[in-house]
Structure 1
């Protein structure tokens, strides 16, 4: 096959907040930067982030980054790497100010400073008040940030490959990243992008679950590419279910709704979070609130004819507050529920939302893997940032407002370290036909003719399987059955066939390639969840209800080859402050 080749200093796969923040730094330094996105960049999933980005600016109440760090360590159920958490919380403040100076239209206080609201898992300050740390642009913060970063990248002359799908990473015999094979969705033509460095910033994989807050594009592409390249994924058992999705549909109702004073009630009108988190109430950590809602429903205190949801009350706040501070939520409720949340409560139920696990990295966003000699080694020229990565700032459970912060801080860190790497490695390494062969074979596999099961049927069965066997509450038998079914489904994928082999805008081919990715990350999630015999953060085992720091204060690693699961220690030594030792996690 006669393939076209393009050459760049840096290839960034994914045009969300992590990818664009790294691209902006590199393009502004006059490096040739390619950003590959399977959608137009401002359709990347960062645009859906609602509530805000955390930073201890202390604009509303006293705050500092040490409190932010403690809240994040506690929220992670003590599985987060504390050196990485310290880096994120310290760098949060200059990162938010950089965004402000770049033009992000944050909401403002009367004194002109950035507006900050309370969010779940924030501790009380020395005055006894809950911290207000989440910097917001109404309830469309991700939208504001993504559009600003895109505009700044256009100014910096970043080269965008829009509606182009990344098929696989390219690496040489020494494991050095060489770029990627990509597919132009419009023409169906493959393209080789050779690059001295590659950053994976492809986001999460919520589409592996039937009910989720994630866009259709969130199919774990970058994580699966890493698995096929022989790299492990870390902590994949920790998948967060957001407590307040629109009941029966899954669209997100931001935690900011509770930060503004909203609260949850059951069928009797009781504010039930008083039982589960007496101090933090409705602003307890997300895993705590999600389990509380499911427990209420299982106890028969759910609302509606089917008793299958609870209610989120905002009507007591008044129309002015609801419509001005939560306009996006008002739109969602009007479209999908036919109600105005300023007048009627919102039916909500936990929905799959966020992956705490991903491609293991260090604080500079360099991809790391277990070494032949020593604890771990870097993969030369390969970086990962955002939800697809696991620098382990979220551990077993992410706090609201730390997702946007993660992608921005470590996207920025990736750009900084890529600059260093390019100064030390200024030349392209040779790319041969052998390096391309596995990626081309993956494309060719979906060109097979003949009868076979349709891709969309297999995908629907996969999503139901994951929802049924790896949900909010888990146990050994349910997950063991899930793994057996998933192995059978993996065989069905091999025999599946495309009905349409045309090239121009063949979205069926893209969906088939995405299915490959979803099956791999689904297996990573189920296998690691079965292996971890404790309850910690978002991973709640009915058969192992207690946290076990003696045996399970460690990260899990999953390899695709043989569906192998191993473990490695947690980094607990911060850079400048005393370690926060594990203790009981109560709100």
Structure 2
């Protein structure tokens, strides 16, 4: 295999990874970025609505109000030190992005355009704020391309279309290398470094209906679990209220921020029943549950009464064309409806993972030993793959793009300060685990594999099993057993089904043919990661016996701050659940005590 050595290796080339890489490369750190796709195809490119910062360009604003809204939106599960840090940094980080070349939309005054989003307020909940800085409805696209161009300028080294497989420890049990697969050639690369940063994004492909790209398979989280480290708060998955019905593609919250209204089959603007003060701009978990209830109670639209409509027809057509062009394109392409003239059919769709790899606000990965949380000296995680936790039980729209650039920069700054930057460890590596994974899927190409080998593509016969079918079944199981509403019997019934999938995965092989592409092997590695996250999600959801944010337990309908104001930690060994206290103490201001969350 090929080998290379760097000061730091970043896994993932979305907004988080590119912001960290830029910070390091500007400081003459020899940094490599490993990306499963070409960097500008990373999922940050799909972020539509905007990035939050209390600029006050449209209406009065203050980062304290942004902090309060984020804590309230998190249903008080967010760590208040990290939330204060993110909201305090927001104004500077947006101006920095502007200087990097992000083409934000403009007000007539020339200042950055801002739009209202759900869960935003002035004066700690008194009135609607206008806080989300936007580049039309393609803000993530603009940020990602600008950060990639900046990285090209400073000479960041990219391993494009490389799948990172595993973290590899040396004989002293320190992370010392990673293994990656060159998807084009099938060659394996061993990359040594002293600092590693995981920025692999989310894992929305765990659910059948989702807004995520096919690449969002939780690869970094799977690597962390196999390294014996925990994941945090994996019960919290945000279902975005407005995905295209039956397909899942995201219809940005910006559509409601610009005045769009949700309507049921009677044409009623029903959100006034569920959030009488802010209506359609309530927090995402509130809106998703409201839509689910409308459909359950028979007020859904269409022949099967299985969706709700997002109505933009009362808005100025020119405004839709200039501020929501991508939304209009999506509607025309996937529904055949022009939102200028017809409502868009929508349904909640799995969108964002609030849980992830536990970190401190410097991005250092945390684990729990002997009852205490410890930071690993040379492993970092940022973005959706990480759980710092600024989103708690529910993320506010516009905070995800802010999260990736704030903590991308902060993690890189912290890495720069570490004395380990320099020559990488040359101690022997513990390669057994990654070699076993490689050999498993290599052997599947040979005559030693199961006689029932089948291709991964959809061209399969009725009696064959395949990675493709196992993934489909996994997605259906997760949607059936861990959706918007949950209860203990249904959650528990999903676990033996995952066991059955694990048995099938151990038996299935790849096609015994020279026509097998490396992409098929990639899908096999990805499915291993997704299955591990399925277990993490179901076990974590079973353990949390309350309703909080996106985790809605029908059998425990109330939030229980006395018993459950804490994070869950999931270890894959024996599916062990532990916990971590929520940090209710901000850095410089008074904390916000939990209280009923209403909009």
**Structure 1-normalised TM-score?**
0.97
The separation in 2 between residues aligned to 1:451 and 1:284, in whole angstroms, is 54
1:373-432 C-alpha deviation (Å, 9 max, x unpaired): x621111210000000000100000000000011111111111011011x4543311242
Query: Could you tell me which residue of structure 1 aligns to residue 426 of structure 2?
Result: 430
Query: Could you tell me which residue of structure 2 aligns to residue 275 of structure 1?
Result: 273
Match of 1:443 among 438, 442, 447: 438
Shift of 1:238: 0.3
Shift of 1:500: 4.8
1:521 aligns with 2:505: no
Shift of 1:565: 1.1
Matches within 5 A, 1:365-376: 365-372=363-370, 375-376=372-373
Query: Could you tell me which residue of structure 1 aligns to residue 545 of structure 2?
Result: 533
Query: Could you tell me which residue of structure 1 aligns to residue 398 of structure 2?
Result: 401
1:496-520 C-alpha deviation (Å, 9 max, x unpaired): 1111565984211000000000000
| Local SS of the residue matching 2:483 | coil
The separation in 2 between residues aligned to 1:181 and 1:377, in whole angstroms, is 25
Contact 2:117/2:398, CA 8 A, preserved across alignment: yes
| Local SS of the residue matching 2:321 | helix
Contact 1:175/1:380, CA 8 A, preserved across alignment: no
1:147-200 C-alpha deviation (Å, 9 max, x unpaired): 000000000100011101001011224442212000000110101011111100
Contact 2:60/2:122, CA 8 A, preserved across alignment: no
Shift of 1:324: 0.6
Contact 1:458/1:492, CA 8 A, preserved across alignment: yes
1:382 aligns with 2:385: no
Any stretches of 5+ residues in structure 2 without a counterpart?
A: 444-448, 453-464
| Local SS of the residue matching 2:430 | helix
| Local SS of the residue matching 1:83 | helix
The separation in 2 between residues aligned to 1:497 and 1:95, in whole angstroms, is 47
1:550 aligns with 2:562: yes
1:55-84 C-alpha deviation (Å, 9 max, x unpaired): 111111000100000000000000000001
Number of corresponding residues: 582
Query: Could you tell me which residue of structure 1 aligns to residue 577 of structure 2?
Result: 565
The separation in 1 between residues aligned to 2:75 and 2:245, in whole angstroms, is 27
Shift of 1:450: 2.1
Matches within 5 A, 1:175-194: 175-194=173-192
Query: Could you tell me which residue of structure 1 aligns to residue 520 of structure 2?
Result: 508
Query: Could you tell me which residue of structure 2 aligns to residue 356 of structure 1?
Result: 354
Residues 44, 502 of structure 1: alpha-carbon distance in 2 compared, 3 angstrom cutoff: farther
1:417 aligns with 2:400: no
The separation in 1 between residues aligned to 2:528 and 2:565, in whole angstroms, is 32
Contact 1:208/1:219, CA 8 A, preserved across alignment: yes
1:228 aligns with 2:226: yes
Contact 1:291/1:472, CA 8 A, preserved across alignment: yes
Residues 502, 76 of structure 1: alpha-carbon distance in 2 compared, 3 angstrom cutoff: farther
The separation in 1 between residues aligned to 2:597 and 2:36, in whole angstroms, is 40
The separation in 2 between residues aligned to 1:564 and 1:173, in whole angstroms, is 26
Shift of 1:545: 0.3
The separation in 2 between residues aligned to 1:451 and 1:476, in whole angstroms, is 39
317-326 or 283-292, larger mean C-alpha shift: 317-326
Matches within 5 A, 1:38-49: 38-49=36-47
Shift of 1:210: 0.5
Match of 2:159 among 150, 158, 161: 161
Any stretches of 5+ residues in structure 1 without a counterpart?
A: none
| Local SS of the residue matching 2:118 | coil
Query: Could you tell me which residue of structure 1 aligns to residue 504 of structure 2?
Result: 492
Match of 1:462 among 474, 477, 486: 474
RMSD of aligned alpha carbons: 1.3
Shift of 1:40: 0.4
The separation in 1 between residues aligned to 2:427 and 2:246, in whole angstroms, is 49
1:475 aligns with 2:470: no
Shift of 1:371: 2.8
**Structure 2-normalised TM-score?**
0.95
1:468-501 C-alpha deviation (Å, 9 max, x unpaired): 1000000111110011111121121111111156
Shift of 1:566: 1.3
